[in-house]
């Protein structure tokens, strides 16, 4: 039978044989191209998916890197804050220690000065100067328009509010305004009677801290200096008297120095 078909085909006109061959060839080419297109189409979808997966992985990597950098920055900031806090705490501790040392040194120095002054008072038979850190101004016996008679005491120039102390132990016999009875020129004043029969007077005071009849010790605070009465500026007017009243004063510097007080 195959031989009969070949025979029949061989007897077809040549043109028809050629057309039939071309159709068969075209069909084979079409089938081949279809298969290739299918392969190509399948290959394209896989590449897009791969690119998409790569892009996603890259984005995730960048995000992870940013999170890591932020975490590192936060950790560094926390470490810096902790270091600053530690340094501040250390500085505060050192400052407190320094202040404590200064305070202790001041207390020690104050005690040393107090002891030294106590020793001087003892050597001076219990007498001392009535104020600390002063400048001597108007002297005893000085004349001028400031006084109706010659100056009856020694002035110690000090700022208003300076602590005034008893020059010797004794009993307060006068304390108050108007010179404690000796006249308005003295302003606020105090008079103390001492065991040796002498009297000390303190005038132009801003505040009086004792009262008549009170017993005081040498170097005890009795008042604060001021500018009351007939005064040209803040100072302490100091007298040594033989009686409690005005008119019995002697040179206070000579008296104190004879007692052993350095003035």
Provide the pLDDT for residue 88.
92
Provide the pLDDT for residue 29.
37
Provide the pLDDT for residue 211.
98
Round to whole Å and give the CA distance between 212 and 11.
168
Fold of 135-259: Glucose Permease (Domain IIA) (2.70.70)
Provide the pLDDT for residue 39.
38
Provide the pLDDT for residue 126.
95
* Per-residue pLDDT in tens (0 to 9) along the chain, 263 residues: 544 544 454 454 454 454 444 334 443 434 343 444 443 444 446 667 777 777 787 788 888 888 888 999 999 999 999 999 999 999 999 999 999 999 999 999 988 988 888 888 988 889 999 999 999 999 998 765 554 568 899 999 999 999 999 999 999 999 999 999 999 999 999 999 999 999 999 999 999 999 999 999 999 999 999 999 999 899 999 999 999 999 999 999 999 999 999 99
For residue 2, the SS3 value is helix
Provide the pLDDT for residue 144.
54
Q: Are the beta carbons of 153 and 202 closer than 8 angstroms?
A: no
Provide the pLDDT for residue 65.
85
Which residue matches tokens 């940013």? Answer: 66
Provide the pLDDT for residue 96.
92
Q: How many CB atoms lie within 10 A of CB 67?
A: 10
Provide the pLDDT for residue 142.
74
Sequence spans of domains, the chain: 2-64, 135-259
Round to whole Å and give the CA distance between 193 and 218.
12
Which residue matches tokens 């305070």? Answer: 103
Q: Are the beta carbons of 135 and 157 closer than 8 angstroms?
A: yes
Q: Are the beta carbons of 229 and 184 closer than 8 angstroms?
A: yes
Report the candidate in 150, 129, 154 with the shortest Cα–Cα distance to residue 219.
129
């Amino acid at each position: 039978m195959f031989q009969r078909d070949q025979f029949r085909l061989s007897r077809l006109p040549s043109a028809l044989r050629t057309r039939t061959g071309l159709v068969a060839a075209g069909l084979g080419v079409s089938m081949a191209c279809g298969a290739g297109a299918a392969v190509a189409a399948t290959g394209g979808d896989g590449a897009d998916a791969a690119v998409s997966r790569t892009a996603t992985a890259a984005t995730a990597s960048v995000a992870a890197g940013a999170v890591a950098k932020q975490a590192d920055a936060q950790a560094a900031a926390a470490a810096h804050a902790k270091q600053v806090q530690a340094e501040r705490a250390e500085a505060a501790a050192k400052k407190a220690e320094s202040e404590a040392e200064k305070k202790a040194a001041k207390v020690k120095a104050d005690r040393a000065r107090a002891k030294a002054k106590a020793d001087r008072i003892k050597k001076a038979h219990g007498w001392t100067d009535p104020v600390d850190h002063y400048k001597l101004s108007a002297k005893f016996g000085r004349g001028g328009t400031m006084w109706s008679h010659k100056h009856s005491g020694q002035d110690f120039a000090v700022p208003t509010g300076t602590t005034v102390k008893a020059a010797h132990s004794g009993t307060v016999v006068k304390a108050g305004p108007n010179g404690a009875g000796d006249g308005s020129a003295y302003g606020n004043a105090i008079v103390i009677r001492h065991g040796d029969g002498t009297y000390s007077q303190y005038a132009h005071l801003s505040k009086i801290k004792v009262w008549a009849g009170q017993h005081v010790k040498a170097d005890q605070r009795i008042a604060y200096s001021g500018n009351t009465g007939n005064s040209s500026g803040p100072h302490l007017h100091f007298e040594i008297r033989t009686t409690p009243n005005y008119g019995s004063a002697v040179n206070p510097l000579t008296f104190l120095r004879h007692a052993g007080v350095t003035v």
